[in-house]
Each structure stands twice: as C-alpha cells, then as structure tokens.
A and B are shown apart, each in its own frame.
Chain A
C-alpha cells in the first residue's frame, strides 16, 4: 500500500469582503499518495486554485479564511505549522508551478540566479556557492535547457522555455509534492505536448507526487492516476482515471463536460451544451449546486444536499444514484 502524502478533509474556504462573502471551496476531501498524480479539473471559479493555495497557506490573509477542515501533509497539520516549518514546506517539500510563465519569473534577474535562490533558501547540506552553480546547470539540463543559458534573462526565452525554467525552479529542491496550476494553458499545443511529456518523465525520475490543476480533460487523461471533478467549490466526482473515463456511472456535470468537448475522432452536428452558467459563488443554490443547469434535475435536487454514491474509490455526489445498489 502506497504511503499517503497529502490528505485534505472537509476543506472550506471563503473570501469575505465588506459587501459579500464568496464561498470558494465548500467541503472537499482528497488524498494524494506518494508518487501519485491527482488531477483537479473544473471550469473557471470552481475553486481549484483556492484549494491549491490553501495547501501552501498562501491564501491572502485579509480576505480569505479557511473556515473548516484539515490539511495534513505527511501527517502534519498544515494549519498548526509555525513559520519555520512553513518556510521549510513551501518550495522545499511542496512547490508550485503557476499558470503564466511570463509573469512568474522576475524579468531583471537571470534565470540561473532565480533557480539558485530556491536552492540557497533550502540549503540543508550546506552546499558551497560552486556546488549550487553546478546544481543550477544540472537542473536546467534536466528540463532540456543548455546549462550555459543560466546567465540569460527571462525575456531571452520563449514561452515554452520560460515554463521549463519555472519547472526547474520548482524541482530544484526535490519536492515531494509538486502543485501545477494550469501549467500549459498559456502554451501552444506542440509546446504543451513537450512540456507535458517532460513533466511525466521527470515525475517518474524524481519520484514526485503531482497535483495537476487543469480545465482540460485531455491533460487529465494523459497525466493523472486519480481525478477530482470540481464544480462550485465541491468535488462532485472523484475516482481513478479509469473510473472517470470508462466508469459506468457519472455525475451529469462530468457527462456534460465530456459532451462539450468537440471530438476529433467522430463528427457530430451539434455539441451537447450545458445550458446556463456557473452559479454565483456569493449566492449558491440550495441542494445540489448543479441543479439549475442539470438536465436530469429532480425535485429533491433543489432541496436536499446530494448524498455520496460510492463504488470502491469512485465517488459521485448526486441524487441519481441513491437507489443504485451499492
């Protein structure tokens, strides 16, 4: 049995302003084992990034609040960590790749120095300056950039190369968990394929776990072992990729997502669309959050929170399956 690395229980995150309260994450549970990849998929505003930021305690303190739930990393409660432990964890044990490589690098510092910065901050084995320099070159080669380009500035790299640099920084301290927040959304499709293939390979080589946040079902299929489908701050379907792509039962939203993607392999005249929009997170509907858009909506869906149907690891949060024999 693989060891559990990260466990989230009933996490709730709100953003509070003077005017209103935004319910961003509404009670999610997930776990990531060592060397495993979990994908979180969902549309804008589903709460994917808020979840990731909560893991690293990077939510803005003035407005955001974790109102309930626990996050355990290697058995340790993240909320109870003191500043030293937190520093140790951020960038050392857990690192994050952000969506936009153009804005996550400092334009006036060479890429080599930006990688060295992370190494110097988490320098447990007292590496000398020369050793750090060596490691910088090593890590650049690892992501497919010639080591002698370490003295170049970010603007001298293309978008795909910049994202490789960001990945190099994230991997420089051999983290146990890598959180990738839409790592390829800003890239062209051939470059995206290169970066994804590289991430898959590095994950194997470095034995890192990965939390992959994306809105693209294709990327999920290509990289993940487990998947959580998020909608309005809830994980409405959770299971292995096989459950999600080949399973018998699905949440109507998951089905809708699949049907909205134009299929390359077959021709359909019309896409089956999901009507309507994501609910307003300041004013979520009663009962199932998806009920106003759901084609299979029943009376009970509008009133009662849906139960979780469970078949092995496959969980679906929907009333439709409450009568199915478990």
Chain B
C-alpha cells in the first residue's frame, strides 16, 4: 500500500449558519483514504456524513481545514484546476430516481459527463465510450435509447455508476448508493462496485447508515456522531471490538436475521440525536450514553489511537 493517502482531510470543518447559531455539520474530521481501498462512513441521519462527502468534492465549500488529494489541497485550488480535479473525483448519489434528468435517454445521460469535461471529443468516440461504459456496469445495449422512467431502481443506479466512471476517476464518493434499492438488487450493485474496485483500482468513500453493508464493502470504517468522527478502525476490528459506546449501541440496534438474538428494551439505546446547533463542549453522545461520567461534558475529547489503527474518542480510553 502506498504511503501517501489518496485523500486526506485535515481538521475539516463545515458549519452552516442558521438563525439559532452555527450548525456543526462536520466538526474537525481527520481521515485518510489510501489508493484502492474503501473507507466506510457510517452514522445516523443528521450526523454530517453526506456533508462530509460533498465538502471533500467541493460541492459545498468548507468552513475550515484542508482536503488533500494526492497531497494537493483541493480547497485552495482555482476554479480551473477544480474542473480538472473533478475528473479524478466523482460521486454516486443516493436516489436513482431524482438524480437522473428524466428527459435524457440512457446514452445521453452517460455521455453528459464526457461532454461537460470535454475529456473525449467527436461523436463516434463518445458513442464508443458510452457503449463501453454500459457494458462495464451491466446495462444491455438495447437500453441506450430508453429513458429513466422505463427502468427500475437497480438499472438506474447502474446509470449513476456509469456516469461516475465516465471520466475515469480515481476516487468516488458513494453516498448511500444502495439504500433506495431492494435487497436482491442491493447485492447486485454492491458486487458491481466491488468488482470495479478490483479491476480499476478505484478508491471509495462509502457513506451509509446500513452497518451490514458497510462491513461488507469497507476496509476501514469511520463512525460519525453529530459531525464528529467518534471511532475509526479497520472493518474487522470495529465489529470485533467496538470501543465507543455509540458504536456499541449502533451494533446492538441492528435487527439480526437470527432467532437467538431477540431484542429486549434493556439493550436498546434511549434518547435521540441532540441538536448540532451550538453544541456544548465535551462528548456529543454524552446525553444518551449509558456509561456517562462527569468528565464527558467538561471538554472536547480528541480521537486517540488505542491500538494500532484503532482510534476512538471517549474519556474511558484517555
């Protein structure tokens, strides 16, 4: 594995201003993603995982911090350079229903990124590339003239994948690409993404709320809670040995398709996400945490390496 990460975020922050005060959507996130690997970002709605993905791609401007792509700070580049960089960094959106223009046919949709970036010129070359891409993502040739409304969710999401791949990116942010799909179709898309990674050496940031999906596809997993990264570890390590109480709660909340593990009220974590507007110092999970102590709410708790490659921000491990 290369020593320089392909993507690195350094003290990355994004605050949205609201009438009630700054909303801390992404708060001091430090992540590294290496070439050819997948970083899973998992958390509940409102934890800032989608904002993080968009800030990295500069679809949203960050408040503070750095995003390094191959060592180059994306946030400081000129508009012109960003256009170049967007050929390297792409995104697959969650909803295959609303992320495709209903008035473009499948081939036009896939050709669109090629035309926008001018990476390939000439009608014939573009057509050739489009049919190549359709083949890669498993869309039948005859669908080239179809419109999105004629297709099911799985096929539409394949269009989304083809659009992201069109410009030969190195890095793709997958923002909940399978949450709108049925399980049997979900498996097809996950297999496709993993095959593409193997064949093309792609690097993914895989954003999801589904823990079983994230375990399956990720090498490393970052758990987010209210804008902060509370735990970071390799996929196996995180599931074998979760340390942060929130990670434990998340894992305990999954309804497993096994009969011997029926849930009882005691194991369920109580309370709900608190407001990310003007958060108090200290651990943001403290209000719901079953192992809360006084030290939790005194000051911010940094992410600390407990074991090689396993980071957690919790007073228990300070």
Chain A residues with CB under 8 Å of chain B are 43-44, 158, 160-161, 188-194, 196-198, 200-201, 215-222, 241-242, 245-246, 256-264, 267-268, 270-275, 277
**Shortest Cβ distance from residue A321 to the other chain B in the assembled complex, whole angstroms:** 22
Q: Does B104 contact A (CB under 8 A)?
A: no
Binds A, one of B92-100, B106-114, B246-254: B246-254
Nearest B residue (CB) for A246: B259
**Can you give 9 A-B contacts (C-beta < 8 A)?**
A43-B183, A189-B211, A192-B253, A200-B263, A221-B257, A245-B258, A256-B184, A257-B184, A267-B215
Q: Does B241 contact A (CB under 8 A)?
A: no
Contact partners of B117 in chain A: CB under 8 A:
none
Contact partners of A256 in chain B: CB under 8 A:
184
**Shortest Cβ distance from residue B122 to the other chain A in the assembled complex, whole angstroms:** 35
B259 x A273 contact (CB < 8 A): no
B184 x A260 contact (CB < 8 A): yes
**Shortest Cβ distance from residue B153 to the other chain A in the assembled complex, whole angstroms:** 8
Q: Which of B185, B215, B249, B251 contacts A262 (CB 8 A)?
A: B215
A193 x B259 contact (CB < 8 A): no
B216 x A271 contact (CB < 8 A): yes
A221 to B261, CA, bound (A): 8
Q: Does B278 contact A (CB under 8 A)?
A: no
A219 to B256, CA, bound (A): 7
B194 x A270 contact (CB < 8 A): yes
A260 to B188, CA, bound (A): 8
Q: What are the 7 closest A-B residue pairs judged by CB atoms, nearest first?
A: A218-B255, A262-B216, A193-B253, A260-B187, A217-B257, A43-B182, A188-B44
Binds A, one of B7-15, B21-29, B267-275: B267-275
A189 x B187 contact (CB < 8 A): no
Nearest A residue (CB) for B45: A188
Contact partners of A43 in chain B: CB under 8 A:
182-185
A242 to B269, CA, bound (A): 28
A190 to B152, CA, bound (A): 30
Contact with A along B112-127 (1 / 0, CB 8 A): 0000000000000000
A25 to B232, CA, bound (A): 47
A271 to B44, CA, bound (A): 24
B212 x A262 contact (CB < 8 A): yes
B257 x A245 contact (CB < 8 A): yes
A308 to B44, CA, bound (A): 43
Inter-chain pairs besides A193-B253, A197-B268, 7 sampled, C-beta below 8 Å = A190-B253, A191-B272, A192-B253, A194-B268, A201-B265, A218-B255, A257-B183
Contact partners of B152 in chain A: CB under 8 A:
277
Contact partners of A241 in chain B: CB under 8 A:
259
Contact partners of B257 in chain A: CB under 8 A:
217-218, 220-221, 245, 258, 261
Q: Does B239 contact A (CB under 8 A)?
A: yes
Nearest A residue (CB) for B152: A277
A242 x B259 contact (CB < 8 A): yes
Q: Which of A44, A189, A275 contacts B250 (CB 8 A)?
A: A189
Q: Does B186 contact A (CB under 8 A)?
A: yes
**Shortest Cβ distance from residue A297 to the other chain B in the assembled complex, whole angstroms:** 16
Contact partners of A274 in chain B: CB under 8 A:
184, 187
A216 to B183, CA, bound (A): 8
A95 to B44, CA, bound (A): 30
Q: Which of B174-209 touch A at CB < 8 Å? A: 182-188, 190-191, 194, 209
A194 x B255 contact (CB < 8 A): no
Nearest B residue (CB) for A263: B212
**Shortest Cβ distance from residue A19 to the other chain B in the assembled complex, whole angstroms:** 15
Q: Does B236 contact A (CB under 8 A)?
A: yes
A221 x B255 contact (CB < 8 A): yes
A96 to B257, CA, bound (A): 25
Q: Does B213 contact A (CB under 8 A)?
A: yes
**Shortest Cβ distance from residue A248 to the other chain B in the assembled complex, whole angstroms:** 15
Contact partners of A258 in chain B: CB under 8 A:
257
